[in-house]
Amino acid sequence: MISEEKTCTRCKKSKSTDEFGKYHSPRYNVSGFQSMCKGCTAYLSNIRYHSNPAANLSQKKASAKWQAANLPKVYANQKRYRERLAAKNNTVLKTIPIYYAANIQAREEITQDSSIVQLDL
């Protein structure tokens, strides 16, 4: 994978795009990457949390309150998440037998090659 360079808006250093968080949807940002590098994001997040832990707690309480008042929405979101995960796993499980079927020849060559040390586990 070829990684491109991107300049962090906070530390102003040019870094590989691997050093930047990704947006799940490209509509939030043209590049698809966050404007601050992961290090700066973690740093600011840490400062924000430790400067006011009570705010974090009240946010958690507000979130729990919203969830309790919106159970159908919460369950619908959980169901959607499980379905997406199942669909993703299903795709992976379906491709494994296809991969093995396509590579039987290669696997036999490997097992018959005496130069490859077979570990007796």
Select 11 or 62, whichever has its Cβ closest to Zn ion: 11
Closer of 11 and 110 to Zn ion (Cβ): 11
For Zn ion, the closer of residues 14 and 95 by Cβ is 14
Give dist(CA 51, CA 19) in Å, integer: 25
Least separation in angstroms between CB 61 and Zn ion: 32
What x-and-dash track marks residues 4-43 binding Zn ion by CB under 5 A? ----x-xx-------------------------x--x---
User: Using CB under 5 A as the criterion, which residues of the chain lie in contact with Zn ion when the complex forms?
Assistant: 8, 10-11, 37, 40
